[in-house]
Amino acid sequence: MPRCPHTYADSSQCRRIVSAEQEYCYSHDPARASERKRNAARGGKAKATGDLGRVKARLNTLADMVEEGQMDRGDAAVISQIWGTYLRAVSVELKVQEQRELIERLDALEEAAKLAKARPGGRSRWGT
């Protein structure tokens, strides 16, 4: 069985088995570098985590100000509602981005299935 030819820094070879059509495994295929990077980002979740931390800190400060009498409760309530709306918008944005990524991945899988059926005999390597 063919193996991925990637060599690690310690001179050992990748142990993953690759199909006859592939030279490298998914993790080391230069043609899939941008796909790996996109998948690693996972739709901007890192950005959302940073936004969430900032919003939580702001809300915590807001609560402290109300408790200490530095801000009117009504004003604080409105500000809290605004931040809640912001968080819901971020959540929707992440869901839309995840859906787009899933559609792209599904399109790639469908294309691979078409190519597999186009092989001689019209069968994929899995016998379907």
Extents of the domains making up the chain: 1-41, 43-115
Q: What is the model's pLDDT at position 5?
A: 92
For 33, the 3-state DSSP assignment is helix
Give the helix ranges, DSSP H, for 14-120.
33-41, 45-67, 73-117
CA distances from 126 to 16, 18, 70, 114, 122 (A): 19, 14, 68, 14, 11
58-68 pLDDT per residue, tens: 999 999 999 99
Mean local confidence (pLDDT), 73-92:
93
12-35 pLDDT per residue, tens: 889 888 888 889 888 899 998 888
Q: What is the model's pLDDT at position 79?
A: 94
Residue 51 confidence (pLDDT) above 90: no
